[in-house]
Structure 1
Amino acid sequence: MLKVLIACVWLAGSAYGAMAQAASVVFLNPGTSSETFWVSYAQFMQAAAKDLGLDLRVRYSERDAHNTLLHAREALHGSERPDYLVLVNEQYVAPQILRMAQGSGVKLVIVNNALTASQKQMLDARDDAHWVASLVADDEQAGYLMLTDLLRQYGPVSPGKTLDLLAFSGAKNTPAAQLREQGLRRALAEHPEVRLRQLVYGEWSRQRAFEQATQLFKRYPQAALVWSANDEMALGAMQALQDSGRVPGQAVLFSAVNSSPAILRARLEGRLTTLVAGHFTLGGWAMVLIHDDAKGVDIDAYGGRDRQQALFQLIGADQARRLLAPAPLVDFRALSAIGKQQPYRYPFSLQLLLR
């Protein structure tokens, strides 16, 4: 999708000195520099930063929490401290970074994976002294939507009949994965005709899910539904089914989260039955909040500083085609609360890219 997003992003990654008056931002990207989701996520952030006049630098952890902490220390205590540090609570790194930030003068914004309830209890008031905002998506709803839509598309189940389900979750120590699992289990509670035969942790990896699915399809040959917490794991599981001589979307119905070109094409081709997407926009919307905070706006007055946005939606064929096409430029400045009257609320939505 997001080769689109951004023909003009290359200007945004310049060094701090290039935009002397701009608020500076470092994003601690938890993904790899070749990972479709996290690369496109950063591109959307860069498009927002350019439009809003922010100076953004992206640091990829390459899926290594140790790298994330090293980059955080460099940003918070190095010679070129940014005004804002954007982080993800992937692998539960946020509390360490919050403590590291004490006395740095750097403001913190968390996206995608917020602090867990137990993490919040462990932190004292000093730890969030420079906390600006958290912005997360409705991950529990995404997990719920996937299974309920799979069942809708499967059709009525005869009385007394059951359907076997296989599930591929992400990483155990990632709040988004846990919430998507909760949504899955909520849907299961409403549909006793579905038997969850096994849930495995694919660690967001296509190869790992392929290897797991190869064994699971042998163990559970009657599996009719596959639920996957991201696109890469779904693609791996679909490949495993195809290698067994069966056709994804016919022998077994698949679901996934995300909007990479590969998964959008799978949705259009019918190999993927159910797709939900929208949370790749979180970083871009966070840039709007940072822009407003830097301009002195009390963002708490426009919906709160800790925000859960209803970003996930089902992606049908029309939406998949739209996301594969060149995206419209988002007017990020128009989303700012500057000059807006109450009860203005930030209208963050995937619909801004589907016009």
Structure 2
Amino acid sequence: MSFLSKLKTVAAGIAVAAMVSTAAAAADQPTVGVVVPTLDAQFWNSYVDFMKKGAGELGVNLVVLNADNKPDQMVKSLEDLVAQKVDGIIFTPYWATAARGLTLAKEADIPVILTDSYPDFSPQSSRFPNYLAFIGPSDEDAGYQMAEALFAKIKPGADGKKVIGVVNGTAGTSVAIDRRKGLEKALKESPDVRVAGEVDGNFVRDTSQTAFESLYQGNPDITGVWAANGGTATGVLAAIKNRGKVPGKDVVVVGMDLNPENVEAVKSGDLLFDIGGHWLQGGFALVMMYDAIKGIPVPADADNVKLKLLPLTQDRVAEFQKDFPGGVPPYDFKQHSRFYNKEAKPAFFEMHYAN
């Protein structure tokens, strides 16, 4: 009898434990499949690199597939992992692919952890007992902090209004929606701010650059830009420079992700504010998945994690680079694994400055 069949005979909480306990029979070196939205974005490369570090420390065979910013490719990648009979799947359900991916995995008795973007249903439910956990950023809070920093910096025009442009992320994703909610909250608190227009940058540099160039050409009174992520911010900065303007002086930009090039942009003054660290979510998810495969279930109180992120301004760049050399905090995967360390604290943590 498959462990998902057994799950139907017990309560939801016990069912999840039964499922992951059965999975303990997996090989000493389990195979975990990972699907990311795109490897054209620096953020997702950092995400994968951290997971690879964890796979090496834990003894995991990691199979990484790239959806290449295509919904059909995301589904195909999930089908490929199911066909390979991987022991676990970690994926980011852009383009409303959560239910489809979880169904494919459920039919094959494969546990799943979702990262970064979440569906409208919770982990560890009777519908998808194989959906062990979600881990991702507190996007609404991040979007709000970005907006606050931007509004405080830009100056009003002759009409008393602070004019901004908005470059959103991939439409329909919880990531883009929640970050935009944070911006909306700040807008309601700041009646002196006017949004000249909004465009979608799809969370990647080139699309964001082209989209903002068009927006800026039609609205030259824009003096601030709320950019939905790191790649978006980089594209916006390039568009501003192509117009012969100076980022940080003529147009103030805020972004998110703490990508290395954006950290440098904050250092130089091109980018006013950045916030991030959530690319660590992939490595945290890997620890959770590894323990689950080894028979140690994800606790119910840790199955829906939204990380508070680390803000960065120019005056804190030196501190950031000292505390997080290369952007990576110290992290011992085995020490955070309850399979290796029975006294381990939760696999995730929030980044903080030392002082």
TM tier, smaller: 0.7 to 0.9
Q: Secondary structure at the match of 2:132?
A: strand
1:24 aligned partner, one-letter code: T
Match of 1:70 in 2: 76
2:24 is equivalent to residue 21 of structure 1: no
Instruction: Select the residue among 88, 94, 103 that pairs with 1:84.
Output: 88
Match of 2:272 in 1: 273
Please give the alpha-carbon distance, in whole angstroms, between the structure 2 residues aligned to 1:329 and 1:110. Answer: 24
Deviation at 1:105, TM superposition (A): 1.5
Report 1:223-238 matches (<5 A).
223-238=222-237
Report 1:166-185 matches (<5 A).
166-185=165-184
Instruction: Select the residue among 307, 317, 321 that pairs with 1:309.
Output: 307
How many pairs align? 325
Q: Runs of 5+ in structure 2 lacking a partner?
A: 1-25
Instruction: Select the residue among 94, 100, 116 that pairs with 2:98.
Output: 94
Match of 1:148 in 2: 148
1:96 aligned partner, one-letter code: R
Match of 2:334 in 1: 333
2:32 is equivalent to residue 31 of structure 1: no
Please give the alpha-carbon distance, in whole angstroms, between the structure 2 residues aligned to 1:124 and 1:345. Answer: 17
TM-score (norm 2): 0.83
Q: CA contact under 8 A between 2:124 and 2:133: conserved in structure 1? A: no
Structure 1 stretches of 4+ moved >6 Å: 157-160
Please give the alpha-carbon distance, in whole angstroms, between the structure 2 residues aligned to 1:236 and 1:188. Answer: 23
Q: CA contact under 8 A between 2:124 and 2:132: conserved in structure 1? A: no
Deviation at 1:112, TM superposition (A): 0.5
Q: Secondary structure at the match of 2:288?
A: helix
Deviation at 1:259, TM superposition (A): 2.3
Q: Quick one: structure 1 residues 134 and 176, their matched pair in 2 at CA, closer, same or farther if it must change by over 3 Å?
A: same
Q: Secondary structure at the match of 1:85?
A: strand
1:112 aligned partner, one-letter code: D
Deviation at 1:124, TM superposition (A): 12
Q: Quick one: structure 1 residues 164 and 267, their matched pair in 2 at CA, closer, same or farther if it must change by over 3 Å?
A: same
2:321 is equivalent to residue 321 of structure 1: yes
Please give the alpha-carbon distance, in whole angstroms, between the structure 2 residues aligned to 1:212 and 1:28. Answer: 27
2:46 aligned partner, one-letter code: S
Instruction: Select the residue among 44, 47, 65 that pairs with 2:50.
Output: 44
Match of 1:111 in 2: 115
Q: CA contact under 8 A between 2:110 and 2:130: conserved in structure 1? A: yes
Q: Quick one: structure 1 residues 199 and 328, their matched pair in 2 at CA, closer, same or farther if it must change by over 3 Å?
A: closer
Report 1:290-301 matches (<5 A).
290-300=289-299
2:163 is equivalent to residue 135 of structure 1: no
Please give the alpha-carbon distance, in whole angstroms, between the structure 2 residues aligned to 1:288 and 1:49. Answer: 9
Q: CA contact under 8 A between 1:258 and 1:278: conserved in structure 2? A: yes
TM-score (norm 1): 0.83
Deviation at 1:147, TM superposition (A): 0.9
Report 1:175-254 matches (<5 A).
175-254=174-253
Q: Could you list the per-position Cα deviations for residues 231-252 of structure 1 after superposition, in whole angstroms to 9, with x for gaps in the alignment?
A: 2222222222222221100011
Match of 1:6 in 2: none
Q: Secondary structure at the match of 1:214?
A: helix
Deviation at 1:228, TM superposition (A): 0.2
Match of 2:351 in 1: 350
Q: Quick one: structure 1 residues 326 and 187, their matched pair in 2 at CA, closer, same or farther if it must change by over 3 Å?
A: closer
% identical aligned pairs: 23
1:339 aligned partner, one-letter code: K
Q: Quick one: structure 1 residues 174 and 238, their matched pair in 2 at CA, closer, same or farther if it must change by over 3 Å?
A: same
Q: Runs of 5+ in structure 1 lacking a partner?
A: 1-18
Deviation at 1:137, TM superposition (A): 1.1
Q: Could you list the per-position Cα deviations for residues 203-244 of structure 1 after superposition, in whole angstroms to 9, with x for gaps in the alignment?
A: 123222222222322322221210000122222222222222
Please give the alpha-carbon distance, in whole angstroms, between the structure 2 residues aligned to 1:313 and 1:53. Answer: 33
Deviation at 1:142, TM superposition (A): 1.0
Please give the alpha-carbon distance, in whole angstroms, between the structure 1 residues aligned to 2:158 and 2:292. Answer: 56
Deviation at 1:329, TM superposition (A): 4.7
Deviation at 1:279, TM superposition (A): 1.1
Q: Secondary structure at the match of 1:58?
A: strand
Please give the alpha-carbon distance, in whole angstroms, between the structure 2 residues aligned to 1:216 and 1:347. Answer: 39
Deviation at 1:350, TM superposition (A): 2.8
Q: Could you list the per-position Cα deviations for residues 86-134 of structure 1 after superposition, in whole angstroms to 9, with x for gaps in the alignment?
A: 111111111111222233111111111011x2xx39x996641212111
Q: CA contact under 8 A between 2:115 and 2:285: conserved in structure 1? A: yes
Q: CA contact under 8 A between 2:124 and 2:130: conserved in structure 1? A: no
Please give the alpha-carbon distance, in whole angstroms, between the structure 2 residues aligned to 1:291 and 1:124. Answer: 17
Report 1:49-64 matches (<5 A).
49-64=55-70
